[in-house]
Structure 1
Amino acid sequence: MSTAQHGTERTTAADGQFDRRGDILVVAARLFAERGYLNTTMTEIARTCGLGQSSLYYWFRQKEDILLGLLALNRVSLEFAEQMVTDPGSPAVRLLRLLRLDIGELCSAAIDICEVEVLAEQQPEVFAEFWADTAALHQHMATLISDGIACGEFIDCDPEFAALNICAAEEGVQRRYRNSTAHAPGGSSPFRHPNYSREHVASELAAMLVRGLLRDPSTLPAVIAEAGDDVAVTPTQAG
């Protein structure tokens, strides 16, 4: 599931005027990325935006509304999944392309998707659209896996269960990526490992997940070659 990324520039509306709502979203995204959603307060968002508390509440009644605004900005993974399901060609190639993009988006996002899910479970009505998007992305992954089984590319398995575990692996790695500085050489954690780039994380994990489904794992290099490097993670600014 893709979440909104953060930018640094002030946003403008369609008429070229300063977009206050968009600016609040940009600032909030940066604070969420730096401090975490749960550790960021409305007071801090207002102060960083140069607004009074009442002015911020004019645009957003509560912090959850800001989060929902950010989530609505970026549905890149879901839109790409819809394309991959309808495109022709190898299901393995299409799934690899989707996973690379989705993992990259998750690792780039201003918000930890695990934090979002905790909030969404507590307030399912408020986060109804988030859950609908999550279910749709999961279903598109399951469809690609089903197609791969049907054409003989993938091993026989439960597509729904496989998609569920792919999503779990993606969520786990984005959480690790967010804490990579502490675990990198010279970091504060007792457990340290190389500091991998976002692109490396996305490419390697996507390849491992697809390899686990392939009936003939030796075809993975050909799948990777056919997928190419055309899917890039593109920053999305609020506004």
Structure 2
Amino acid sequence: MGSPKRTGRPRNSGRDSANPREEILKEASRLFTAQGVAATTISQIAECVGLRQSSMYYYYKSKEEILSALMEKNRESLTLAEKLLEEDGPVAPRLYAFLYTDVRQLCTAPLDFYELEVAALAQPQVFAGFEEDGEKLRAAAAQLLELGVDSGELRQTDPAATALMLLSLNEGAQHRLWHGRREEERASESSDALAQSVADYHLSSLLADASSLDAVREAGRDFVTEYEDDEPAA
């Protein structure tokens, strides 16, 4: 994030983008999803974006670099989880904020998480941090769950096993959105609605007092808004 916007490079078409890097990621994601990562070439991506292949290297020097940039976008949930663990006060709203953000981030990412996971497993040398990030995310979720159980806000549960289940369900929800609907339906409003539905479902089964869900949701959304306000502009 925070990469300077670059302009003035030759393009093959009249298309213009305020952020060529984002346009490249978007078009690369479409190709990766449509035909797979291995079958996609830099020249195909350049053609879709409207750049000469030589100009593509000004932004990304290889397909692996594009994939790494996509993976970087996958770290939003981990960043928020680490911040939420530093917060004081009730745990349930923090868990809600984490689960809501995780679903929304997965649904609005430029590439289906499963496609990214396949690419990471096939090229571990390129995606050295992918599995490590996943382990950190599961650990952070488990820690939030453990804190909630200890505080009496959440029912008794195995934190590690429950964290794995919750994150797996989140990944399944984004996969359904990706493959059950087309791009125009994957708007932010649709992703927000799905994120709330999934987070509501998770918390309704975890809360010791299910009647507190409305209050937990409201407080959790406040955490999300606060996190978004603190995020630096890209």
TM-score normalised by L of structure 1: 0.76
**Cα separation, 1, equivalents of 2:73 and 2:166:** 24
Q: Check conservation: 1:153, 1:215, Cα contact below 8 A.
A: yes
Q: Which amino acid aligns with 1:125?
A: Q
**Counterpart for residue 109 of structure 2:** 109
Name 1:7's counterpart in structure 2. none
**Are residues 1:169 and 2:169 paired?**
yes
SS in 2 for 1:75: helix
Could you tell me which residue of structure 1 aligns to residue 27 of structure 2?
A: 31
Structure 1: how far apart are the matches of 2:180 and 2:8? 34
Matches within 5 A, 1:6-85: 13=4, 18=7, 25-37=21-33, 38=36, 40-57=40-57, 60-73=60-73, 75-85=75-85
Q: Distance in 1 between matches of 2:75 and 2:224?
A: 15
How far apart are 1:45 and its partner, in Å? 1.2
- 5 Å-filtered alignment, 1:113-152, equals 113-152=113-152
- Bigger helix share: 2
> Which secondary structure state, in structure 1, belongs to the residue aligned with residue 154 of structure 2?
coil
Listed one character per residue, the Cα deviations across residues 38-78 of structure 1 (whole Å, up to 9, x for unaligned) are: 26432221223444435535754532221102322563222
Q: What is the Cα deviation at residue 225 of structure 1?
A: 3.0
Q: CA deviation at 1:209?
A: 0.9
- Is 1:158 the counterpart of 2:151? The answer is no
> Is the counterpart of residue 206 in structure 1 residue 199 in structure 2?
yes
Give the whole-Å Cα distance in 2 for the aligned partners of 1:158 and 1:12.
41
**What secondary structure is seen at the aligned counterpart in 2 of 1:79?**
helix
Long gaps (5+) in structure 1: 5-10, 183-195
Aligned length: 214
- Structure 1 pair 18/96, CA: closer, same or farther in 2 (3 Å)? same
Contact in 2 for aligned 1:27/1:48 (Cα 8 Å): no
Distance 2:30 2:48 in 1: 13
Higher relative contact order (CA 8 A, sep 6+): 1
Quote the residue 2:212 is aligned against: 219
Question: 1:166, 1:175 → 2: CA distance?
Answer: 14
Identity of aligned residues (%): 33
Kept in 2, the 8 Å contact 1:24–1:45? The answer is no
Correspondence for 1:231: 224
Unmatched 5+ stretches in structure 2: 10-17, 183-188
CA distance in 2, matches of 1:131, 1:231: 25
AA aligned to 2:219 is E
1:186 corresponding residue in structure 2:
none
User: Amino acid of the residue matched to residue 200 of structure 2?
Assistant: A
Please tell me the root mean square deviation across aligned C-alpha atoms, in Å: 3.2
